[in-house]
Chains A and B, each alone.
Chain A
Amino acid sequence: MPSGIEERVSLELQHISVKLVLSYAEDLDLDQVIPIFHSWIQGQLTEELLLDVADYRHVYRGPGIVLIGHEADYSLDNTDNRLGLRYNRKALLEGSNEERLAQAARAALSTCQQLQEDTRLDRKLHFNGQEIEILINDRLLAPNREETREALRPELQGFCNKLFGGNEYSLSYGTDPRKLFTMFVNATRSFALEELLENLLH
């Protein structure tokens, strides 16, 4: 049974991660991502203060290449052998849950757009158009269990309805209670990043 604390906090979502699953050419050279992330630090090209780059490609199915920021990290994350662009919000955000979900999704989508368009990657890396993971990186706010899933389902579905413009998608959840609360979203058709960003504006 959830404790009193968990009942109090589970309605406020913070530390939201959004991961866009990528499709990529087999000859994609991820080495190139490191200078790209460094150039983003040089230009401070995101809303967050960017600090450093960490390369964890030597670990199996790990966080890959991480652009460390103060308020959030960006990474080419390979957790569960699913290479994706992940935005991981660290700092607190004001607003409603829907606004915080939208902020994290926007950050992931626009960053993915930047990578897709970067000529240094030869346009070999793309959002696969359909698969998105939403994680809550705080076990006390969102313990990974059925009660949390039930409590959050309406808001998460509302957000996904908006993101996909009312089109169909399926939701599933990670069930290992030791892991972070994770929702897997799978759209029934392919979406362009621009389209998803546009949907979030309305």
Chain B
Amino acid sequence: MKASNTLWKEKLAGQMPDTLSREIDAFETDIALRKQGKLDERLFAETRLRRGAYGQRYDNGQRSDGQKVQQLNFPSGTLTKGPNTMWDAPGMQRIKIPAGGLNAAQLETMAELAEEYSDGIAHVTTRQDFQLHYIQIDDTPSLMRRLAAASITTREACGNSVRNVTACPYAGVCQDETFDVTPYARALSKFLLGHPDCQNFGRKFKPAFSGCAQHACGLTSLHDLGLIATKRVSAETGREEFGFEMYVGGGLGAVPYQAKLFDAFVPPEELLPLAQAIARVFARNGEKKNRNRARIKFLIQDLGIEKFRELVREERKILPFDPRWTDYIKEALAEFEEAPLKPAGALPSLVAIEELNGNSGNFKKWLKFNTRPQKQPGYVTVVVALPLGDITANQLRSLADIVRRFTKETVRTTVEQNFAIRWVSKSDVRELYSALRAAGLGEPGAGALVDITSCPGTDTCKLGISSSRGLAAELRKRVTEKSFQQDEAVQNLHIKISGCFNSCGQHHAADLGFYGVSRKIAGYAVPHFQVVLGGEWAHNAGSYGLPVVAIPSKNIPQVVTRLTDRYVAGRNTGESFKDFIKRLGKAELKKMLEDLTRPPDGDRSFFSDWGDPREYTLGDMGVGECAGEVVSSVDFGLAAAERELFEAQLAFESGQAKQAGKKAYQAMLNAAKALVEIEYSDITNDPNQIVAEFRSRYYDTQKFFDPFAGGKFANYLFDAHRKADQAYTEESSRYLMDEAQLFIDAAHSCNNRMGTLVSV
């Protein structure tokens, strides 16, 4: 705990907005009450989450050190900050940056906080937030006050609330946008922050804006509420009108959903009231008890988009008028107008570049990947590529200096975990590049293959299964060496990695996506990644990839090499990676990667993850326990389930959606039966019996429960069984296959846990 914690309130008095100041005071009181035992731990947990103070790995007070599970004996003893969450355990602080917009002073504040409360690193997330790790809960009020004094809030950065409102970082400068969505994103963010109609959600709610439909930058398809700028000619007046295409119910998570069109044209004055009406309908009708079905996407799936639309329209009619619906937009339009610092210019000639930079090769690459012409002639937006989204305190200060020197502090975070510096005069590009290079911020390859996105994974996330950052760092190292010599089509591919099925790395929307899973091989838990291929990043994440096969973590670099080489050698003229993957088909892809699904005999490096020398465990497994290859009946049963699912995917690919649905359901039954057989060898193939036995032996006893997702995956089976008589549609089969994959993964994990000795 910082010595200065008691002093910041006095120091910053009068410098914070009143509402934020009161918020933080209340939180500080909650901290005191919790420490006195006067506030329930569950209530306190939600309280801190709604202020962005998140849990972090090992905060249950236990950590596997590779040999045993260590009890972490923190000084505050058994005091908790939430269920099974020790008070002293370091946590993560998420910081909301609406539309990713920052100024230089805010960058400097972030630098100070990273140094004083974290480990010197600020992390940019895939939703334009910042995250600081290893934060002490006792320090959070001071940290929040310092942010508030810089006009930044952490309020509702986590918890069942409206999360950061994201927007295309090129909004306002993009050459082919319809109009600048930034003021609308800021207005919506302000309007929904702390709004009473948004305080009773069963789960989080993520809005996003895009200035166009064709690019990826806004990722509206994977958001709960997606707004795309559009225009039309009014039938009444004949004049051009601007508004938004409104989408609802998108989301990644375990099973990704594409957002559905709610309204093809929402006029700006209707944006905020309609969002409010949606919030009310979600709060009133959304699932509350089962958090695994509580996102708005499930409500829309259950109701159907027509019914959902009808409910929202009805709600809109009865909303009491609120002047903020239009006032906030007017204010934002006035406040967020940007202008350049320098006059428009022209890019330097290549001769001048070579004379002045020496290493012109890097500059050319940087120009190609990291600059983007603006719609305003003579200006470019420069993208600062951050490795794994990380930036040091010194770099943040350098960036602050740079944006002051070259722009009117117009910088934004991006969903690719980078920064975009807007309004750079073309004549300043060379000098700006030199300044960035001096700060270690001049790496080329923004948005390219080398610019890999990763969630925190097992480094710090409680839910992480495999080391996404470790894999990303390794791939980055390997790809950097040769990416710029590779075929142009490969250079522009996207790699995105999540440490688990929850998709924070947005792997579904990548050309090459990976998410962490575990498998048991020769009696050992082995970190794996499920390979997800052919997602579409463009068109605001226009379509999602499908899982192909799980591969041991240490073999993933070979997967990347093999797939990219094959693409270069075998693609048709102009064929996208997505189309190439589709043409190859799952059977061929799986065959191509089949030999990589097993670790080489005797190679023990596969039993630890990238960047982490500890023996990989889901619990704690004795190293010498099983010397030889052990394949039990349950392993066979789970393999049969995998096979069945693979066939389902093949059927789906060939247009047999009904058959695919049936097979996906059967795959789940196979996996469930494999587990039941451990305890009850006389189990038959009767689905009713399998499900009943599975329920009583694994669900009711919670043996199948994921440590964090609970019974979520078992419910996939129960739902599928309940609906087994219904006809499978293309959409339902697609979801069912994803759910079957997750159910099988959970069955593997359950099997691993049961074969694991837990030591203390």
Distance in Å from the Cβ of B693 to the closest Cβ of chain A? 41
Would B3 and A180 count as touching, CB distance under 8 A?
A: no
Q: Whole-angstrom distance between the alpha carbons of A138 and B413 in the complex?
A: 27
Known: A138-B116, A139-B112. A3 touches B11 (CB 8 A): yes
**In the complex, residue of chain B having the shortest beta-carbon distance to the beta carbon of A142:** B4
Which interface class (under 10, 10 to 19, 20 to 34, 35 or more) fits B? Answer: 35 or more
Would B392 and A58 count as touching, CB distance under 8 A?
A: no
**In the complex, residue of chain A having the shortest beta-carbon distance to the beta carbon of B401:** A178
Give the chain A neighbours of B378 by CB distance below 8 A. Answer: none
**In the complex, residue of chain A having the shortest beta-carbon distance to the beta carbon of B469:** A55
The yes or no answer to A179 lying at the interface (CB within 8 A) is: yes
Known: A79-B394, A138-B116. A35 touches B613 (CB 8 A): yes
Tell me which of B63, B121, B134 contacts A59 (CB under 8 A).
B121
Map CB proximity to B onto A1-14 as digits: 1 under 8 Å, 0 otherwise. Answer: 00101000100101
Would B8 and A68 count as touching, CB distance under 8 A?
A: no
Q: Whole-angstrom distance between the alpha carbons of A3 and B15 in the complex?
A: 14
Known: A62-B121, A138-B3. A79 touches B392 (CB 8 A): yes
Interface members, chain B 363-395 (any A CB < 8 Å): 387-388, 390-392, 394-395
Known: A41-B65, A73-B119, A80-B394. A60 touches B441 (CB 8 A): yes
The yes or no answer to B313 lying at the interface (CB within 8 A) is: no
From B11, B57, B73, B133, name the one whose CB has the most chain A CB atoms within 10 angstroms. B11
**In the complex, residue of chain B having the shortest beta-carbon distance to the beta carbon of A91:** B1
Distance in Å from the Cβ of A121 to the closest Cβ of chain B? 15
Which among A46-54, A104-112, A146-154, A155-163 touches the partner chain? A46-54
Would B4 and A141 count as touching, CB distance under 8 A?
A: yes
Known: A35-B613, A54-B459, A68-B134. A5 touches B392 (CB 8 A): no
Q: Tell me whether chain A's interface is mostly helix, strand or loop, or mixed.
A: loop
The yes or no answer to B7 lying at the interface (CB within 8 A) is: yes
Interface members, chain A 48-100 (any B CB < 8 Å): 49, 51-56, 58-63, 66, 68, 70, 73, 75, 79-80, 90-92
Would A42 and B67 count as touching, CB distance under 8 A?
A: yes
Known: A5-B10, A34-B613, A54-B119. A59 touches B395 (CB 8 A): yes
The yes or no answer to B120 lying at the interface (CB within 8 A) is: yes
| A residues contacting the other copy or chain, number (CB 8 A) | 44
Would B3 and A15 count as touching, CB distance under 8 A?
A: yes
The yes or no answer to A145 lying at the interface (CB within 8 A) is: no
The yes or no answer to A140 lying at the interface (CB within 8 A) is: yes
The yes or no answer to B108 lying at the interface (CB within 8 A) is: yes
Tell me which of A59, A70, A137 contacts B115 (CB under 8 A).
A137
Q: Whole-angstrom distance between the alpha carbons of A58 and B388 in the complex?
A: 8
Would B613 and A58 count as touching, CB distance under 8 A?
A: no
From A14, A54, A61, A66, name the one whose CB has the most chain B CB atoms within 10 angstroms. A54
Would A51 and B58 count as touching, CB distance under 8 A?
A: yes
Would B116 and A139 count as touching, CB distance under 8 A?
A: yes
**Cβ contacts A to B, 18 pairs, < 8 Å:** A15-B116, A34-B613, A38-B613, A49-B72, A51-B63, A52-B63, A54-B460, A58-B387, A60-B395, A61-B392, A61-B394, A68-B119, A70-B74, A138-B2, A140-B7, A140-B8, A179-B394, A179-B397
